[in-house]
Amino acid sequence: MPLAIFDLDKTLIGGDSDFLWGEFMSEIGAVDADTYQVKNQYFFDQYALGQLDINEYLEFCLEPLSQNSIETLNKWHQEFMQSKIIPIILPKAQVVVDEHREKGDTLLVITATNRFVTAPIVHKYGIENLLATEPEVKNGRYTGKVKDEPCFQKGKINHLNRWLAKTDESMVGSVFYSDSHNDLPMLELVDHPVVVNGDATLQKIASEKGWASLDWT
């Protein structure tokens, strides 16, 4: 069956989970709030401009994972889900996910945000397949480094191609939903690109190309 592929941040949810995780970590005192929030906002702005250095950003955002046990991080993540994510779950997004499931389509989320932050969110939508930036784990702890290539921009396509090679799925009839011009490589790859809650740059491109544009907020 066709692939229904979803971006996560600002597409399935009404915010950026990585940014909100940093905000949450600051609020509970797990990081130095003043320093971390300034850097978090800087990287968020760079992403919006399409100028993010993904390696520099990942070094920043994965460091706190390496400083805490996985048990502690998982406990914090449960609190994070309740305080930051559940309020921005988008019912219209869930409807579309459910419609694709009922048609028998294969559901997949592909996101630049790391798997630790995103996996429970994706599970909340009932989606089994997730391609994300993979934090490295050694001896039962996060190292603060990335395992493999970041799942960002063209890296999303590389992750997708490796996943396709391991499954019986194909791109025939595929659809991809995204809000960001950073996802242009993916949007141009699928048969049916759909802009959701699009940023200004992507809305302009969608208009020029005649792509569908939706608002799930």
- Is 7 noted as a catalytic residue in this protein? yes
AA identity, residue 93: A
Catalytic residue (choose from 9, 18, 105, 183)? 9
**Distance between alpha carbon 153 and the CA centroid of its chain, in Å?**
11
197: alpha, beta or left, given left = phi > 0 and alpha = psi -120 to 50?
left
Is 45 annotated in the active site?
no
Q: What Rg do the C-alpha atoms of the chain give, in angstroms?
A: 17
CA distance 183 to 169: 21
| CA distances for 153 relative to 23, 49, 161, 209, angstroms | 24, 13, 13, 19
DSSP 181: G
Q: In 3-state terms, what secondary structure has residue 28?
A: coil
Residues classed as catalytic: 7, 9
